[in-house]
Each structure stands twice: as C-alpha cells, then as structure tokens.
Structure 1
Amino acid sequence: MATIDVDIIQDVEVLLRNLNGYELLSYAICNEECGAESYEWLSGRVEGILVDEFKHLAKEKRKQAAQIRELFKRLYPNMDPLKFNAPPLDTLPVCGEMMGVEDVEKALAIALLSEAIGKDVYRKLQRMTGDEETAELFGRLAEIKEEAYKRLLEFYETMIER
C-alpha cells in the first residue's frame, strides 16, 4: 500500500486554515482540475479495466470542478478564481509514489489513498467555510470521494483475491 507524507498533510492543513472563502473555492477548482489530469495520466500508465475507471474518475473530477466554478461565479460574480500552481490536495501526499507507478495494484493503492485523503480534505473545508452553500458543496464533494473510494476498493479487493 502507498505511504503518506504526514509533513505535507500538516502543511496543507496550515495552508487551508489561512485561506478565505474566495481562496478556498479557487484552490478547490485547481484541486479538481489537477486531480483530473492526474487520473488521466494514470489511465495511460495502466492496462485493462482500470484504464476506464481512471478515465471515469477524471471525468468526475472535471464535473466537480465545473460545480465549484459555478458556485464561485455566483458568490464572486466580478472576480476570477486564483490560479494555484500546486498538486491536488488529495494526491499531494502521494505524488512521489504516483510518478513512479508501474503496476496496476500500486496504482489502485495510490488512488484509494488519494480518494480517502480527498474526502478528509473536503470535510475540513466544509467545516472551515462560513458560507452555507459552499459548505454544502464541500460536503457533497466529500460524499463523491467516499463513493469513488468504495468503487476503487471493490476493484482492489477483486484484484487481491485473484
């Protein structure tokens, strides 16, 4: 199974605590767009049924980014989201391992860890925001991460049983 760089997670938590709503939504947009790119990249590194699953997850992340962008436009109609040049929150702690992934089992393990971290991050964002609509969106995103985790876990368990 993949390992987590705990120092990076703590750094992310400090960063999140210091962001206002405008910045949190901007970062969340970048997070989902970068996450989609990560899954698209992973889909090119594996074979078989996981290719379709990673492509599906990339598509879902793009839909999530669009939802966040829509909320952003309603809350900040005359502003553009900030551009963050950072890896997605949910893959940040496992980026090093992701770049070296060579087999399906390891790719799945990293994706599982990424989705679990993503769920926790969105729960934190949900608690941190002062806006009810934004909190609701972050809660829905956490639930989507949980569903993705469960789907990937089924793939992983099936693979381990073989």
Structure 2
Amino acid sequence: MAIDVDIIQDVETFLKNLNGYELLSYAICNEECGAETYEWLADHVEGALAAEFMTLARERRKHAEQIRGLFKDLYPGMEPLKFNAPPLDTLPVCREMLKVGSVEEAIGMALLSEMIGRDVYRKLKRLTGEEKVAELFGKLAEIKEDAYERLLTLYNAAVEAGAARQV
C-alpha cells in the first residue's frame, strides 16, 4: 500500500490558510465523503464488518450534521462552501480501497483512514481560533479514535480467524 505523502502535505498546507468558515465547510465535505466511502465498503463485504462499515457511515453523516449545526450557529444565513478539495482522511487511501482484495485489507484501509481522520481533526482544532469550532474538532478526533479501536478489534479477529476472504 503506497500512500502519497505529498498529497497529505499539500492538503495540510491548504488547510492552514482557511478561516473558521472555510474549515467548517471543509469538515462537512470531509465527513460526507467519508460516509460514502464506508457505504461503498459495506456493499463489498459481509457480516459484522459490513455492519461496522454501515455504522461508521451513519456516524460520519451524523458528524456532518453536527458540524452543519455549528456552522449555522456561527454563520447564520450563510451556506457552507462546496469544496472540490479531497478529504484528507480518505484521499490517501481511496485508490487503495478500490483495490482491496481481502477483509483484512479493507479493514486496514479503514483503520488508516480513521487514524488520519483523527490527526486531521486534531490539526484543525489547533488551526481554528474559534472556541466552539475547536471543541467540536476535539470531540470528532476522540470519535475517530474510538472508531479506530473498534475496527482494530475486528481486524484482529479477522486475522486470528484466518479470514482472508475476498472482498
């Protein structure tokens, strides 16, 4: 699995130049794209893993709504920007996700995505100057950590069971 570090650095540089309005807009797009990725993965696996991917997709949609709610509180009458920038947590793994051949690989990609997502929200928390926005990004980072731990449990169970099933 090859992750393009230059892309991550480019997006991080891009994020550093955003204000609170733009950061929240980006975070909404990030969560919505993540939900779509997990829905796609859920359609390509079975059982507990499919259920976990659907749970993660629902959580991502919920996060997008939470961010949208904060956005409306902070910027009444305004609409979030539609970003053409890729989501930092799924961008480096998107191409790899489309090529996964086993359950372990699918979970591995999801683990990486959640770990990057956690780090992105920690970084966004530091970048924003608005307390409410920073608080929300901190909570989202904690949620990403929890999702990572749940996926790690599934990954370990799959490895122990020798479940190199094809996706």
- Taking structure 2 as the reference length, the TM-score comes to 0.93
**Separation (CA, whole Å) in 2 of partners of 1:136 and 1:26:** 16
In the other structure, the counterpart of 1:91 is: 90
Residue matched to 1:74 = 73
Q: Is the 8 A contact 2:88 2:117 kept in 1?
A: yes
C-alpha separation between the residues in 1 aligned to 2:130 and 2:18? 13
CA distance in 1, matches of 2:38, 2:137: 20
Q: Which residue of 2 aligns with 1:29?
A: 28
Give me the CA root mean square deviation.
1.0
* Residues 45-60 of structure 1 mapped to structure 2, 5 A cutoff: 45-60=44-59
Aligned residues: 161
1:90/1:121 contact within 8 Å kept: yes
Task: Give TM-score scaled by structure 1 length.
Answer: 0.96
2: distance between equivalents of 1:62 and 1:131? 23
Q: Which residue of 2 aligns with 1:137?
A: 136
Residues 42 and 54 of structure 1 are in contact (CA less than 8 Å); yes or no, is this contact kept in structure 2?
yes
Instruction: State the match for 1:117 in structure 2.
Output: 116
Tell me the residue number matched to 2:42: 43
1:8-19 matches, cutoff 5 A: 8-19=7-18
**Alignment partners' CA distance in 1, 2:154 and 2:105:** 12
Q: Which residue of 2 aligns with 1:126?
A: 125
- Tell me which stretches of 4 or more aligned residues in structure 1 moved more than 6 Å: none
AA in 1 matched with 2:116? I
Are the counterparts in 1 of residues 42 and 50 from structure 2 also a CA contact under 8 Å?
A: yes
Q: CA deviation at 1:86?
A: 3.6
Q: Which runs of 5+ in 1 are unaligned?
A: none
CA gap of 1:123–1:38, structure 2 versus 1, over 3 A, is: same
State whether structure 2 residue 137 is matched by structure 1 residue 159. no
Counterpart secondary structure, 1:19 = coil
Distance apart, 1:82 and its partner CA: 0.3
Do the aligned residues in 2 keep the contact of 1:112 with 1:149 (CA within 8 Å)?
A: yes
How far apart, in 2, do the equivalents of 1:30 and 1:36 lie?
10
